[in-house]
C-alpha cells in the first residue's frame, strides 16, 4: 500500500464528501423517515454526519482503494487484465473494508436523521445496543456490496480501457465518464437492498421509533421486519424510494472521487 495511493484516495474522498454530502443527507431521509422538507431544513442540517464522514470514512476509503490497487498488482499475473481480475479485486476490497465501513455508515445515517451530534449519537448507540449496534446490517451490507462492487469495477475498468483505446481524452475526463456508467448499473442493482439495510441500521434510533417501528422493541427488530413493514406501507415502490437522490449523490461523488484519485496517481488503478 504505497503512500501515493493513500494520498490519492484521501484527496478524492474528501473532495467528493464535502461537495456531495447534502445530497446524501436528503437520500437517507427519503429512505428512512420517508420525507424531507427543503423549506423547513436549515443549511447546517444538510451537513449532519459530515464530520464522521471526513474523519472516519476517509480512512475507510483509503483502505478500500489501497486493497483494490494492491490486489490488482498481485493478482494480475494470475488472472489476466480482465473481468475476472476486476471482480476478484473488488470483492477483496469490499470484504476487507466492510469491517470498517459498517459502523461508520450506522453512525453517519443515525446522525443525519437525528437532532443530535456525532458524539451523543455514538454514546446513545453504545449504551442501548453495545458493540453489536455498530454492526447492524453488516452481513446484509456484504450481500449488497459484493455484487455492487463487482458490477461497478467491471463497468468502470472496461469503459476506461475502451475510452483510452478509442479516444485521446485525459484521465481526468475518462475516469468520471467511466465512473458514471458504473454507477448507473451498480446503483440500480443495489438500491432495493440498500434501502432495507439503511432502515435496519437506523431502526432503533429515536427518529425511527416515532414511525412504523414504534411497536417493535429495540433489538427485536429484524431485517425481515424492516422489509415487511416497508412493503406493507409503500408496496414495491418503497424499495426504490430515494433512487434518484441516491443516484444523484453516488454519481457525482464517484465521478469527483475517481477523477481526483486517477489524476493524482496518473491513472494508477490500471497499473
Set out the domains of the chain in order of their start, with CATH numbers.
3-270 (1.50.40.10)
**What band does 82 get if pLDDT is binned at 50, 70 and 90?**
very high
**Pseudo-torsion of CA 184, 94, 105, 61, nearest 10°?**
-90
How high is the mean pLDDT of the chain? 82
Task: Let me know: does 155 contact 181? Beta carbons within 8 Å.
Answer: yes
Q: Say which residue, 109 or 170, is predicted with more confidence.
A: 170
User: Cβ of 66: how many Cβ atoms within 10 Å?
Assistant: 19
What angle, rounded to 10 degrees, do the helices at 243-265 and 3-31 form? 170
**What band does 104 get if pLDDT is binned at 50, 70 and 90?**
confident
Amino acid at each position: 500500500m504505497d503512500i501515493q495511493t493513500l494520498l490519492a484516495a484521501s484527496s478524492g474522498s474528501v473532495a467528493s464528501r464535502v461537495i456531495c454530502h447534502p445530497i446524501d443527507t436528503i437520500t437517507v431521509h427519503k429512505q428512512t423517515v420517508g420525507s424531507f422538507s427543503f423549506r423547513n431544513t436549515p443549511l447546517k442540517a444538510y451537513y449532519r454526519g459530515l464530520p464522521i464522514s471526513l474523519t472516519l470514512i476517509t480512512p475507510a476509503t483509503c483502505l478500500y482503494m489501497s486493497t483494490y490497487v494492491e490486489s490488482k498488482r498481485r493478482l494480475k499475473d494470475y488472472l489476466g487484465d480482465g473481468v475476472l481480475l476486476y471482480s476478484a479485486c473488488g470483492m477483496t476490497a469490499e470484504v476487507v473494508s466492510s469491517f470498517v465501513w459498517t459502523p461508520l455508515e450506522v453512525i453517519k445515517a443515525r446522525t443525519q436523521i437525528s437532532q443530535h451530534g456525532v458524539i451523543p449519537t455514538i454514546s446513545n448507540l453504545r449504551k442501548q445496543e453495545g458493540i453489536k449496534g455498530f454492526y447492524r446490517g453488516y452481513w446484509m451490507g456484504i450481500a449488497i456490496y459484493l455484487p455492487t462492487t463487482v458490477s461497478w469495477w467491471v463497468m468502470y475498468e472496461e469503459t476506461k480501457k475502451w475510452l483510452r483505446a478509442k479516444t485521446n481524452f485525459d484521465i481526468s475526463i475518462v475516469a468520471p465518464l467511466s465512473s458514471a456508467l458504473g454507477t448507473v448499473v451498480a446503483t440500480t442493482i443495489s438500491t432495493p437492498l440498500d434501502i432495507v439495510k439503511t432502515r435496519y441500521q437506523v431502526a432503533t434510533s429515536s427518529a425511527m421509533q416515532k414511525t412504523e417501528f414504534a411497536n417493535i422493541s429495540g433489538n427485536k427488530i429484524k431485517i425481515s421486519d424492516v422489509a415487511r413493514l416497508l412493503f406493507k406501507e409503500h408496496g414495491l415502490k418503497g424499495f426504490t424510494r430515494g433512487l434518484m437522490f441516491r443516484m444523484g449523490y453516488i454519481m457525482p461523488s464517484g465521478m469527483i472521487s475517481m477523477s481526483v484519485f486517477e489524476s493524482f496517481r496518473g491513472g494508477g488503478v490500471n497499473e
